[in-house]
Structure 1
Amino acid sequence: MFRGRWESSIMSSFVSVLFKFLLGFIGIMLISCTPVLLTINDTFDFSKYFNTFVGLLKDLADPSNWHLSNFNSSTFEKREISFLKYFKGPYLYSLSVLIISILLSFFTALILAFITMLSNRKIKKNVLQITKILESFPDFSYVFLIQMVVVQVYITTGYRILSFYSLGGNLVYVAPIVCLSVIPTLLFFKLFLLLYKEELNQPYVELAKSKGLTKVEILIWHCSPNALKSAFFQSKSIIWLTLSSLVIIEYLFGMKGILYYLRADFSPTGLTFILFSVFAPFFIFYSFVEVLVDKGNIERNVIFEKFNLPFLHKQQLRSLLKISNIRNSLSSIFMNRSSNRFKRWDIILPLLIVLGLLSISFLYTILFHDQIDQINYIYNEDGKLISRAPHPPSKNVFFGTDPYGYSILQQLLVGMKYTILLTLIIATIGVVAGYLLAIVYVFYMNNKSRKVINAIADGMHFLPLTLLVFILLNPVLINSTGVWSTTLTERLVVQILIMSIIVLPVTTSSIGNEMNETLKKEYVQNSVIMGGSLTWVIWKHINPQLWTKLVLFWTQHIVQVLQMFVHLGILSIFVGGAAYYADTPYRLKPDISEISGMIAISRDVFVTKQFWMIIPPLFVFMLLIYCFNLIADGISKKSIAKGM
């Protein structure tokens, strides 16, 4: 009997995994055809999209079409590369760098977290502060920091400790692995610290102490197994970020890996195969381990099949509309009933810095109408040429200029408002839409529908977010003709919608699970049983418990969007779009000046060592990320203090 139940459970798990796998593959095919739907001259031509999807199915069914197209720079011709050759070469190259980086990050973070937990409180505080600062650096900045160190060592000793660029058949490993592992190490480190702290507060720890076990023994034999299991289930979001970072590391190091061949072959067949090759190994690994550890008994599940609540009762509506009730509800949602609610400088100060940067940018627009000077040549008092673009920082140009002579300081002053406002809009739309869809997810969907949403959200964690956004925005924001058939407003709206919608499955699932936790509480269930309407339950019970976490989701999403802007800028996807110059076919001209667009020259700076061009926009991004990380940490502490 036991064996039969075990076999039945295994079969059920296999069917569930197979369903999610097929759903992920279909999603990849749909995404791979989407660039056709967003092409400027055929925007939202659904008949063309359908025909492209049918053509993709035919190509996948015909093995003779299983190849990628690659441009040969020596002969200026396209050549075909079989999927097998791609798999043996570029794919394994990228995957080996990625896996080694993740393993290095995981074990380094585990060891550092273990040592930190054994340290005194002052050391812990200093380590966490350093972690916050390091986490504010965009991932690509570590390429420049490490390169500076290597160059300085070479100048001092004459010895080059690392190779930084992949040329010809030379494959670089150490530098990409080191650069790629920094951010995941910081994230895993913070995760392990949190998990160890939670485990040390469990009752079994007190029992272990009473038996005379030391802290080292408790951490190794009791806390670590539970922390490792929890870390595995929470590591998907870290893998998600690392996959996006891999795309940028490949580009900066000139690695002929996944991104190189995706940019070379932008066909639906090529996109499908490359995205699927990234998705499949991680999905299979996580699914296999989840079956082994019986994830179904660990993760949070919805406790009701489907709610049948009336949307609103008239009597409850009158109660909700009473001024006193509105005031009390807003007070419970927006502020703590505490004497020090206005003394949270860890939240207020970074918020003031962000608002200050935004105000300075708007003030420059009002006073100088977004003027950006172009200085091609600088002469001394005798009329002698002393500098030509790009100019380094001097009394003539405070932050220097870019390669085309445009003032970097003025570009920053113009671009800050676009970066900050668009980031806030995208993050707000993502969280608000996720919240509204979470209500549908919890109250109007049955378990089967919820499983589909969760399957899509799980699958999203194994696809590089930057790569997906790049695929979708490339046909919208890059113009090879020099003449736009769409307005700037239309392109901005499409960009905002794409960057907001792409994360909706994950956001909806996360917020929905938080709602489920509130609905499991006894007083909420009693309210449902006693006839509480949907609006009543949401307003009186869910929102007061959920508000702080929604703000936390919002600040975390802001940081994610800022990182995404940096990645897109490196890949020459500019906010509002860019067109190729007629006289310089390899140079893109952004439609508006925005900070992430200044990051586009990062690869050139990587080679020329003209770091003054990249440091100012990098510093602004770091400052913004650091401020929103501080806000998120402040909100997290606030939630813990309230016992949420």
Structure 2
Amino acid sequence: MKQFWTISTKFIFGVVGIMLISATPALFNGASFLNFRSYVEALRLIFAGFTTPSEWTLSYQIPFSLETIPVSFSKFLSGPYIYSMSIFLMALLLAVVSAFVLSFTVILSTGFFKRSMLELIKFLQSFPDFAYIFLIQIGVIAIFQQTGFLLLSFYSLGGEEIYLAPVVCLAVVPAVLFLKLFILLYEDEQRHPYVELARSKGLSRFEVLWKHCTSNVLKSAFYQSKSIVWLALSALLIIEYLFGVEGILYYLQNDFSPKGIAFILLTVFIPFFIFYTAVELWLGTYEIERNAVFSKFNLRLLDLNELRASLRSFFSKRKPAETRSALYKNPRILIPSFIVLGLLTASVLYALFTGDAIEQTNYVYDDDGSIESSSPHPPSTTSLFGTDPFGYSIAQQLMVGMKYTIVLSLLIASLRIVFGYLFGIVYTFFFTDKLRHFVNSIAEGMHFLPLTLVTYLLLRPVLISFGEWDLSLAERLIFQVLIMSLVVLPITTSAIGNEMNETLKKDYVISSVLMGGSMSWILSKHIQPELWPKLVLMWVQHIIQVLQMFVHLGILNIFVGGALAQSDYPRLVPEIYELSGMIAISREVFSTNQFWMILPPLAVFMILIYCFITIAEGLTKKQLPVVQAERENAQDLKKSSDAAPSFTRIRYAEANEK
């Protein structure tokens, strides 16, 4: 009964959270920037619409004629929704099966092949999902030009349903993530004693992996698959946009009302919530709540003596060599950090010396003064990477935009961790069980909503203008940074708070509390040392996620700092030059095959993501100091020599002959 009540409240909180998010665009539609009266009215319309069956409709815009007609919820569910979910589920199934099979190949391999496969996986992980669509299309076009055979159809025209190209493109990124997850889980599982026991009985590596490790690995993969599904849902929106699929995103963009947003988000949330809850109940491991151990202890907030002791230890110069930062001795951290810093420095220096000037070349003339070509111009000796459709140099746009992309990614990821840490302290030490349950429920619901879609809903009313701006550029940038930081606050708060709870359950922390330790002492001396490496790794992971979000938002025409809509031109004009804004012409590039306009910004995104993935690996696999490594190697050699047999076996027949 308690489990039923817990699941029910989580579902209700998730639905309420979705309704609150769906009404948020109404905050920015009024005369004032934060129109709370309009927000309350939007909430009323949502609740009224769901209680009135006659209003269960969505708006559909007929292509080419631009006529808008109502579509019933039932027709939406049986048509576009099933179409989108079919693409998503087939891609997810393809990703899981292919990743599972490949993980066996990698785990059973050794030597150079295994190292090469692991490095290839890391390289593939640095590709934004958009890059796979782009590269697969280039390959299909190249084959078509050589053979006249079209492998895949890349665009849906006149309501035509295409499956193969969207499924293949959508499956690549989840397949890479699942492959890495399976490899990590199998390697961790092989360290358990039962694996050594099975090998000692003569079982092969394949038999041990298949018969003994796979069941545990699949269970662990299921629990950790939520984050991969979360990313794949965001990628589904990009697939729909680039392939012209009239699915979930198409209806959302046409019916941007609070009622329509709430209904579409609920159709995404409810099936995944039911599936994961049912499987967790079937496995018998559904977690009701992970509560803080010291909820009934009246901990002192601060103790002056403990504060002085903490300050003395913090400013002490006696630092052992083993505790020095891995940044100065780990090339996996040092080299990619220098690459990112070099790109940022080059962009800043370009701004200082040129004032972010970007040349524009609309026409190229020959020696006779005749027009040789008009923009966009392909790469040449005068224009390194060519120009965009407006004639602006792509190379110079990269130099201008890199600093915005890097700085904003670092800032947003840092704010996510800082806000999550501060609210995690409140979550752990001050929240009651009901409040913790509420936060976990909201976080659980956020895992089944496309993050790009939620961010798009919140940013679109502010960052797209059809006239004059109501906010300055600085205000729009602050708003965008805060939205992209706070949109994951329930998830980061729940994750960091639960990590704190796990530390509080350890015996030495309990002893510290019983001896009279204050909350500040427990936080600084016990929780912080355990939590700090995880926070740094989480920070790097959020940087990668923010870079992916910039690509997604750029494709959906949500630019850093906003963009103005032109009455006589369909393309939005960005306010500042930033890398994600250069991705916005992807549809046009796909139709014209002018790939030079996409490759440079895409390459920079790949370099940045690859660098941060390498940094994350360096943080999780810290190299031992040379002296300590040599000492451990010597100990291993000594143990192996001591364990070697000191006699020679003689076969029975040979002994008789002698």
Same fold (TM over 0.5): yes
The corresponding residue for 1:570 is 555
Match of 1:491 in 2: 476
Indicate conservation of the 8 Å contact 1:308/1:443, yes or no: no
Which residue of 1 is the match for residue 573 of structure 2? 589
CA displacement, residues 521-560 of structure 1 (integer Å, 9 cap, x when unaligned):
2212211111111111111111122111111000000000
Answering whether residue 78 of structure 2 is matched by residue 79 of structure 1, we say no
1:3 corresponds in structure 2 to none
Q: RMSD of the TM alignment (CA)?
A: 1.9
Alignment partner of 1:277 out of 267, 274, 282: 267
Shift in Å, 1:446? 2.5
**1:310 aligned partner:** 300
Residue type of the partner of 2:202?
Answer: G
Range with bigger deviation, 74-83 or 262-271: 74-83
Separation in 2, partners of 1:245, 1:627: 22
> How many correspondences in the alignment?
626
Q: Distance in 2 between matches of 1:48 and 1:298?
A: 37
- Unaligned 5+ segments in structure 1 are 1-10
Percentage identity across paired residues of the two chains? 54
Q: Are the counterparts in 2 of residues 306 and 443 from structure 1 also a CA contact under 8 Å?
A: no
Question: Counterpart of 1:6?
Answer: none
**Partner Cα distance (1:364, 1:40) in 2:** 40
CA distance 1:49–1:313, shift in 2 (3 Å) = same
Which of 48, 55, 78 is matched with 1:88 structurally?
Answer: 78
Between 1:451-460 and 1:387-396, the stretch displaced more is 451-460
Deviations 1:51-79 (A, max 9, x none): 22112211111111100011223443210
After superposition, the Cα gap between the structure-2 partners of 1:402 and 1:261, relative to the gap in structure 1 and judged at 3 Å, is same
1:140 partner SS: helix
Cα distance per residue 1:90-135 (max 9 Å; x no partner): 0000000000111111111111111211111322211110011111
Aligned-partner SS, 2:69: strand
Matched, 1:356 2:356: no
2:376 and 2:386 in contact (8 A); partners too: yes
Q: Cα deviation per residue 1:417-464 (whole Å; 9 max; x = unaligned)?
A: 111111111000000110111111111123222222111111111000
More deviation, 227-236/445-454: 445-454
Offset at residue 306 of structure 1 (A): 4.6
Q: Is the 8 A contact 1:40 1:485 kept in 2?
A: no
Distance in 1 (CA, whole Å) between partners of 2:365 and 2:3 is: 74
Question: Aligned pair 1:621/2:605, yes or no?
Answer: yes
| Secondary structure, aligned partner of 1:574 | coil
Matched, 1:401 2:387: yes
Shift of 1:288: 0.5
Give the 5 Å matches for 1:217-256: 217-256=207-246
Distance change (3 Å), C-alpha of 1:338 and 1:169: closer
Q: State the match for 2:87 in structure 1.
A: 97
Relative to the length of structure 1, the TM-score reads 0.94
Matched, 1:180 2:166: no
Amino acid of the structure 2 residue aligned with 1:557: H
User: Is 1:210 paired with 2:196?
Assistant: no
Question: Contact 1:306 / 1:444 at 8 angstroms: preserved in 2?
Answer: no
Deviation at 1:640, TM superposition (A): 11
Aligned to 2:515: 530
Equivalence for 1:136: 126
**Which stretch has the larger CA shift, 568-577 or 436-445?**
436-445
Shift of 1:396: 1.8
Aligned to 1:420: 406
CA-to-aligned-CA distance 1:463-499 (integer Å, 9 cap, x gap): 0000000000000100012x11110011111101110
SS at match of 2:382: coil
Q: Secondary structure at the match of 2:328?
A: coil
Distance 1:363 1:187 in 2: 37
Shift of 1:574: 0.6
**C-alpha distance in 2, partners of 1:554/1:250?**
30
Question: Equivalents in 1 of 2:343, 2:160: separation in Å?
Answer: 44
Change (3 A) 1:576 1:384: same
Distance in 1 (alpha carbons) for counterparts of 2:430 and 2:285: 25
Q: Tell me the secondary structure at the aligned position of residue 235 of structure 1.
A: helix
Q: Is the 8 A contact 2:18 2:266 kept in 1?
A: yes
* 8 Å contact from structure 2 (residues 327, 333) kept in 1: no
**Cα distance between partner residues in 1 of 2:253 and 2:316:** 55
Residue 558 of structure 1 corresponds to which residue in structure 2? 543
Kindly state the Cα deviation for residue 582 of structure 1 after the two structures are TM-superposed: 4.2
The separation in 2 between residues aligned to 1:448 and 1:264, in whole angstroms, is 38
The reply on whether 1:478 has 2:467 as its aligned counterpart is no
In the alignment, what sits opposite 2:490? 505
2:43 paired with 1:53: yes
Distance in 2 of aligned mates of 1:40 and 1:351:
44
Q: Which has the larger radius of gyration?
A: 2
Q: Is the 8 A contact 1:38 1:472 kept in 2?
A: no
Cα pair distance change 1:339/1:98, threshold 3 Å: closer
Unaligned runs of at least 5 residues, structure 2: 629-658
Once structures 1 and 2 are overlaid, which stretch shifts more, 420-429 or 450-459? 450-459
Contact 2:30 2:38 in 1 (8 A): no
CA distance in 1, matches of 2:464, 2:295: 46
TM-score (norm 2): 0.92
TM-superposition CA deviations, 1:261-309 (whole Å, max 9, x none)? 0000000111011111111111100011111112246996644445421
1 CA distance for matches of 2:65 and 2:110?
A: 63
CA distance in 2, matches of 1:464, 1:198: 30
The worse-fitting range, judged by mean Cα deviation, of 25-34 and 377-386 is 377-386
Is the CA contact 2:554–2:580 (under 8 Å) kept in the aligned structure 1? yes
1:67–1:83: 8 Å Cα contact kept in structure 2? yes
Distance 1:528 1:270, change over 3 A: same
Q: Structure 2: how far apart are the matches of 1:438 and 1:489?
A: 29
Alignment of 1:458-469 (within 5 A): 458-469=444-455
AA matched with 1:466:
T
Give the structure 1 partner of residue 641 of structure 2.
Answer: none
Deviates more, 1:211-220 or 1:353-362: 211-220
Paired residue for 1:122? 112
